[in-house]
Chains A and B, each alone.
Chain A
């Protein structure tokens, strides 16, 4: 802590921690988020607003499911796949879950290698993350196709409460859209890392500020959030 450097970073007095630190940060008449750059803080605030969006979808689903007098379709049977002569419950959803978690793992490692300035590994890991994300969306398209051919519609389905279809298409559709945009942004960031934009400080997208490897971490925040939302959808929609 006590070392001094040319840019003076080490020379500052240590900031207070705990609740006193929160009060001092917020009342400092400066930026409140001392440990996060604006880019990172703004991504977190965007993710907070997205939390409210998905939170409202899930609680609308809860309200519909609790208040309907029709039986709720059994996700166990609806999402079962017929493989090798036996019905395996929820198997596609389980595979999708593992694919998305794996993509989160490769994303976390991509951020790590980006800060180590290892461009080749970073690009490779970003592309693997994008590929896993695209796989997820592909499996979701398969799942939608299967359900639609079985007669699930936003206004009804063969097994019970009509709200099942509307909740399903709304929640998984919105989540799938998030994954799709994530894949697109992953490819953009991967291209920028590959070209060495963040070594030269070329401006990032949507901004004229100098880009740096923190962009990879901010991209990672979005991607992990997509995985995080799936954790809740998996628990409440598919398992409950």
Chain B
């Protein structure tokens, strides 16, 4: 990892460094993200281990999940360094899934209700 003395800023010793290719970020950044992913995973495991219930449990699960997903997409998948044209093209369409979730939640509620009603009366 230690750069030669003639390259004090860690510049590549290769004669021509490709200027516009690829993603160049310090390893340190990845290690920090990795560390936080570990911490967040431990936290979400603790939610279960400590037997949190109800809205506290669901809220914490969702919070840690979104933070982890955000870190992976933003840093590991380099989304923060892409142009917005790509970011929007990839991150906006999944909103359709959330709408689908909302529709099916209403539908599932209704199904459960009709099942309970008809099973009680022996329908």
Residues of A in contact with B (beta carbons under 8 Å apart): 5, 7, 9-10, 15, 17-19, 21-22, 25-26, 32-36, 41, 44-45, 47-48, 51-52, 55-56, 59, 62-64, 66-69, 76, 89-90, 94, 97-98, 101-102, 104-105, 107-109, 111-112, 115-117, 212-214, 217, 220-221, 224-225, 227-228, 231-232, 234-235, 238-240
Return A239 CB to nearest CB of chain B, in Å. Answer: 5
Residues of chain B with a CB closer than 8 A to A21's CB: 83-85
Residues of chain A with a CB closer than 8 A to B34's CB: 101-102, 104-105, 108
In the complex, A107 Cα to B112 Cα: how many Å?
44
Chain A at the B interface: SS class: helix
Residues of chain A with a CB closer than 8 A to B112's CB: 66-69
- Complex contact B76–A224 (CB within 8 A): yes
Identify the 6 closest CB pairs spanning chains A and B, nearest first. Answer: A66-B108, A25-B85, A105-B34, A55-B97, A67-B111, A115-B22
Residues of chain B with a CB closer than 8 A to A9's CB: 19-20
- Complex contact B77–A59 (CB within 8 A): no
Residues of B in contact with A (beta carbons under 8 Å apart): 12, 14, 19-25, 27, 30-31, 33-34, 37-38, 41, 44-45, 47-49, 57-58, 61-62, 64-65, 68-69, 72-73, 75-78, 81-86, 88-90, 93-94, 96-97, 100-101, 104-105, 107-109, 111-112, 115-116, 119
- Complex contact A66–B49 (CB within 8 A): no
* Candidate in A35, A64, A104, A235 with the most chain B CB atoms within 10 angstroms: A235
Residues of chain A with a CB closer than 8 A to B88's CB: 22
Residues of chain A with a CB closer than 8 A to B24's CB: 112, 115
- Complex contact B30–A105 (CB within 8 A): yes
Residues of chain B with a CB closer than 8 A to A228's CB: 69, 72-73, 77
- Complex contact B84–A67 (CB within 8 A): no
* Candidate in B33, B84, B111 with the most chain A CB atoms within 10 angstroms: B84
- Complex contact A239–B44 (CB within 8 A): yes
In the complex, A97 Cα to B37 Cα: how many Å?
10
Also in contact, A90 and B84, with CB within 8 A (given A101-B38, A115-B21, A224-B72): no
- Complex contact A112–B20 (CB within 8 A): no
